[in-house]
Amino acid sequence: MKTNDKIIQVFGSQLGLEELEEIRDCLERQWVGMGPKTTELENALARHLGADEFVLLNSGSNALHMAVHLLDIPAGSGAEIVMPAFTWVACANAAVLAGHRPVFCDVDADTMNLDAAAVERVIGPQTAAIMAVHYAGLPAPIDKLAQFGLQIIEDAAHAIDSRVGEHACGTIGDIGIFSFDAVKNLAMGEGGGLVARDARRLERARDLRLCGIARTGFEASQRRERWWEHEIREAFPKMAPSDLSAALGLAQLRKLDAAQARRAEIWQHYQRELSDISWIQRPIDQQAGDRHSHFTYCIRLRNDNRDKLASYLLDQNIYTTLRFHPLHLSKVYQNQVSLSVTEHLMHRALNLPLHPMLSDTDLQRIIESIRKFPA
Ligand SMILES: Cc1ncc(COP(=O)(O)O)c(C=O)c1O
């Protein structure tokens, strides 16, 4: 029983005239590759995060690849990187393509973030690093994970506005990566980047992102002599951003506070309105003094009707999804581990629409539809 109501998307971003103006600026300068907009955005993101520097790349996935490379663990040494199975596939790809082994770990049932006790159980002599995802933007327990004395990559793809006290997520561990793809809180179509505690790693990332060439075309064009010469520092794939996507990022960053305020409002609305529905378990809020990015609102059903609810909402033109399908059960990464919380989430979790383009009417329609669902 399809409805004619407008489609409510599960993710979305607010793109408009501000972005158009920034893009116009690129076109008027006739510079759309990596250049001044990239630098401007990098400086603005570093300020936003309270970091010394930010290195912009062309995706969050590539930022993960770059981050693992920057750890400098010898390939083929049997090194293991511990990570949740409840995450994006690039986390595991980044380990494998650098010659290491991903070790999948369970998440905490309340936070959906890495469970420090479960991490401790899988740490062994080969463990070289931990990759911790701030799921939905709720800060993961980086301090607890740091007690194991291993290098930590923070996957802050969902967490551009998350904080633990005064510290921005991504800046607490050794390296922090971010995603600015089309559905993220700061949307550039494709984009991402990283921060690192050690400035030498950031310098290396700048040298690597253009196939390992240590000078960009824009920098070369500013020189008067032998501008065609360049030094290749290391063999590396191209991960450079473009000024066109950086232009979108600049406009998005200026609107971030307003968009985040709307996301928080929607989150709280769900928390209130779903509180008396016995078959729904709501996500938890951040601890007092911390900050959540509210990238997505993930409920869990207390019964087996998750798929039915998703189809029923789709019939009402309300899109939902599941982030993430567990990696340890995928064809490429399947192994024998049993991760009870992650597998529970696979069958019971559902991400509801949450983005700044949702109107109050949309929200009301979602809540009413859920209330009418014959659970
Ligand atoms: C947890 C997590 N890490 C990394 C990424 C990769 O980001 P990108 O889409 O920019 O490659 C994503 C993307 O959804 C993600 O959810």
Per-residue pLDDT of the chain (375 residues), as tens digits, is 667 889 999 999 999 999 999 999 999 999 999 999 999 999 999 999 999 999 999 999 999 999 999 999 998 899 999 999 999 999 999 999 999 999 999 999 999 999 999 999 999 999 999 999 999 999 999 999 999 999 999 999 999 999 999 999 999 999 999 999 999 999 999 999 999 999 999 999 999 999 998 776 677 777 777 777 788 889 999 999 999 999 999 999 999 999 999 999 999 999 999 999 999 999 999 999 999 999 999 999 999 999 999 999 999 999 999 999 999 999 999 877 899 999 999 999 999 999 999 999 999 999 999 999 998
User: Whose C-alpha lies nearest to ligand 1, atom 16?
Assistant: 88
Mutate to test the pocket of ligand 1, among 61, 87, 93, 325 (most ligand atoms within 8 A of CB): 61
Mutate to test the pocket of ligand 1, among 58, 87, 88, 113 (most ligand atoms within 8 A of CB): 88
Q: What's the pLDDT at 226?
A: 78
Q: Alpha helix (H) ranges present in 59-168?
A: 60-70, 89-97, 116-122, 142-146
User: Whose C-alpha lies nearest to ligand 1, atom 8?
Assistant: 60
The ligand 1 atom at the shortest distance from the C-alpha of residue 155 is 3
Q: By C-alpha distance, which of 306, 291, 342 is closest to 158?
A: 291
Q: What's the pLDDT at 59?
A: 98
Q: Alpha helix (H) ranges present in the chain?
A: 17-29, 36-49, 60-70, 89-97, 116-122, 142-146, 199-208, 217-221, 243-254, 256-273, 306-315, 340-348, 360-372
Length of the chain in terms of residues written: 375
Q: What's the pLDDT at 216?
A: 67
Ligand 1 contacts CB of residue 93 (under 6 A): no
Ligand 1 contacts CB of residue 111 (under 6 A): no
